Amino acid sequence: MTRAYRAGDELPPLEIPVTRTLIVAGAIASRDYQDVHHDAEPAREKGSPDIFMNILTTNGLVGRYLTDHFGPTAVLRKVAIRLGAPNYPGDVLRLTGHITDVRAGEPAEAVVHVTGDNRIGRHVTGTVTIALPGPSPKRSGK
């Protein structure tokens, strides 16, 4: 059964503990070897109190937030995010979102406004267009 989505629908929040391991693993997975994402001493030398999360990890977490809500067959069509306050080890990233538009078509699409906050303030703001999962294919009687 397909769920009907409407503009104005709120997505439940998702809280993600920001660990040193998450920051380093995200940087490695996205091949971002900038020292500020894995080595605290150079990060401090460059003015940061500690290592911090890169934008590609944040992008992946936004994608996870949406596919957790819409299901594994939903497809991210367009992701446009902007970073604000850094995510440091020990933070909790709290993602929230609401649907701003639903577009008919095959497949239907939803436009979702997403924000993510931590103890410092707003870490990420963005808009994501997602192709909504359709009805499950019918199984043959064989």
pLDDT (tens digit per residue) in 76-116: 999 999 999 999 999 999 999 999 999 998 899 999 999 99
Give the start-end residues of each E strand in the chain. Answer: 10-17, 75-83, 92-103, 109-117, 122-131
Q: Is the pLDDT of residue 40 over 50?
A: yes
For residues 112 and 100, the answer to whether their CB atoms sit within 8 Å is yes
Neighbour-count burial for 60-74, b at 16+ CB within 10 Å, e otherwise: ebbbebbbebbeeeb
pLDDT band (50, 70, 90) for residue 4: confident
Q: Which amino acid is at 102?
A: V
Q: 124 forms bridges with which residues in the sheet?
A: 83, 116
